[in-house]
Amino acid sequence: MDYKLPVGAFEQQPRTPFYYYDLKLLDDTLSSIREHSAYPGYKVHYAVKANANPIILKRIADAGFGADVVSGGELSAAINAGFTNDTIVYAGVGKADWEIELALNKNIACLNVESMAELEVIEEICHRMGKSVCVALRVNPNVDAHTHHYITTGLSENKFGIDIEKLDEIIARCQNSDCIKLKGLHFHIGSQITETTPFENLCKRINEIQDKYNEKGIYFETINVGGGLGINYDDPEAEPIPDFKSYFETFNKHLNLREGQELHFELGRSVVCQCGSLITKVLYVKNGVVKNFVIVDAGFSDLIRPALYQAHHKIENLTGHGGSEKYDVVGPICESSDCFGEQETLPVTHRGDLIAIRSAGAYGEIMASQYNCRQLPDVLAK
């Protein structure tokens, strides 16, 4: 299946830069997830942090997925988009009191708790509000995701989750509570994971943990394995839809689910990344002393991933003249890190050409800022 960028529609857009979302590709991605996750007890919650554009969120809610949120703002965005309360789970290492109150008021499905200190505050707030709540304990499994160190989360040195040594104590506290119902365990090892081994290792770790607790007569209704499935940034055409088949098969093969147990996933990037591109216009072509620069009207305020994580997104000149030339593709922001690609081979490029920065549907628009008092990027979804 071909998902061509509609260049004609781009030329009519009043303002660049803008995010273009291919809704057909999003729908096909959602169908693929539905098809390949159809094992008993499997449930996918979309990680709203990847992209909270209301059009995208509504589409995912309408397709019947749940939502994984990490702030009061995301919780409200999910509810506004039509996710029902009982399909929303809330994770996050630093929930403020008002956010816990909002979650309790909205009766969401589950709070993922990351420390004893947090559990105590949740209990206190429950008592004050006369409420009870289901929780899952986020465990730090100490499994290496082999990804960029900024987006590795499941190692003992990371700030996330409860150390396995402290789990007994927190479980006991839940069992003795009159307002906390312990539902399950939550894990997340990192993001943009492109090998199966880290997921297999996570499964093995979860099996050990479950065996240990089952022996003590403690059972969990849900196991949540987080998100993390990576996508192909180098060649988005080759893989517009990530390999969900192998992903879910890995869990089906390696994770020993208990009778009636639910397995939850929190996929973000893999759901929305390939359906989005950042479309920008060439302002100037500047021939430097050692390099040629293409200066575009998008900057790291619009897409921060290259500057922040040294990420590379495929860059295409959509206006497409002949020839070929090497350029550094840079933005207008006054920092040298405002660079989308070094020594990119593009057709000979001119002022006014449209450039697409691909695979920008996840952690793109949502991480945009107004640095340099720039306007936020526009959106075209069709």
Q: Among the residues of 234-293, which ranges form H helices?
A: 244-254, 269-272
- Only one of the segments 46-54, 79-87, 279-287, 332-340 lies at the binding site for ligand LLP (rule: CB under 6 A); that segment is 46-54
Q: Which is nearer to ligand LLP, 68 or 365 (CB)?
A: 68
Q: Shortest approach of ligand LLP to residue 211 CB, angstroms?
A: 24
Q: Does 66 sit near ligand LLP (CB under 6 A)? A: no
Q: How far apart are CA 273 and CA 255, in angstroms?
A: 27
Q: Is 142 left (phi over 0), alpha (psi -120 to 50) or beta?
A: left
Structure tokens at 276: 């989005």
Q: Shortest approach of ligand LLP to residue 281 CB, angstroms?
A: 24
Question: Segment 189-228, which members bind ligand LLP (CB under 6 A)?
Answer: 191-192, 226-228
Q: Which is nearer to ligand LLP, 281 or 305 (CB)?
A: 305
Q: Does 269 sit near ligand LLP (CB under 6 A)? A: yes
Q: Is the dihedral of CA 182, 183, 185, 187 positive or negative?
A: negative
Among 44, 91, 139, 162, interactor with ligand LLP by CB under 6 A: 91
Q: Shortest approach of ligand LLP to residue 154 CB, angstroms?
A: 10
- Contacts with ligand LLP, 303-342, as mask; x by CB under 6 A: --x---x---------------------------------
Among 20, 53, 68, 113, interactor with ligand LLP by CB under 6 A: 68
Q: Shortest approach of ligand LLP to residue 68 CB, angstroms?
A: 6
Query: By C-alpha distance, which of 69, 108, 123 is closest to 92?
Result: 69
The H helix count followed by the E strand count for the chain is: 11, 17
Q: Does 155 sit near ligand LLP (CB under 6 A)? A: no
Q: Which is nearer to ligand LLP, 153 or 349 (CB)?
A: 153
Q: Does 47 sit near ligand LLP (CB under 6 A)? A: yes
Question: Segment 340-369, which members bind ligand LLP (CB under 6 A)?
Answer: 363
Q: Is 268 helix (H, G, I), strand (E, B) or coil?
A: coil
- How many amino acids of this chain bind ligand LLP (CB under 6 A)? 22
DSSP codes joined into one string, 188-206: --BSSB--SHHHHHHHHHH
Q: Does 141 sit near ligand LLP (CB under 6 A)? A: no
Q: Is the dihedral of CA 200, 201, 206, 207 positive or negative?
A: positive
Q: Are 209 and 246 in contact (CB under 8 A)?
A: no
Q: How far apart are CA 55 and CA 81, in angstroms?
A: 8
Q: Does 267 sit near ligand LLP (CB under 6 A)? A: yes
Q: Does 151 sit near ligand LLP (CB under 6 A)? A: yes
How far lies 208's CA from each of 134, 184, 212, in Å?
Answer: 24, 15, 6
Q: Does 274 sit near ligand LLP (CB under 6 A)? A: no
Q: Which is nearer to ligand LLP, 188 or 281 (CB)?
A: 188
Q: Which is nearer to ligand LLP, 30 or 267 (CB)?
A: 267
What is the enclosing helix (H) or strand (E) of 180? Answer: strand 180-186
Q: Is 204 left (phi over 0), alpha (psi -120 to 50) or beta?
A: alpha
Structure tokens at 318: 């959509």
Q: Does 60 sit near ligand LLP (CB under 6 A)? A: no
Residues that bind ligand LLP (CB under 6 A): 47, 49-50, 68, 91, 151, 153, 188, 191-192, 226-229, 266-270, 305, 309, 363
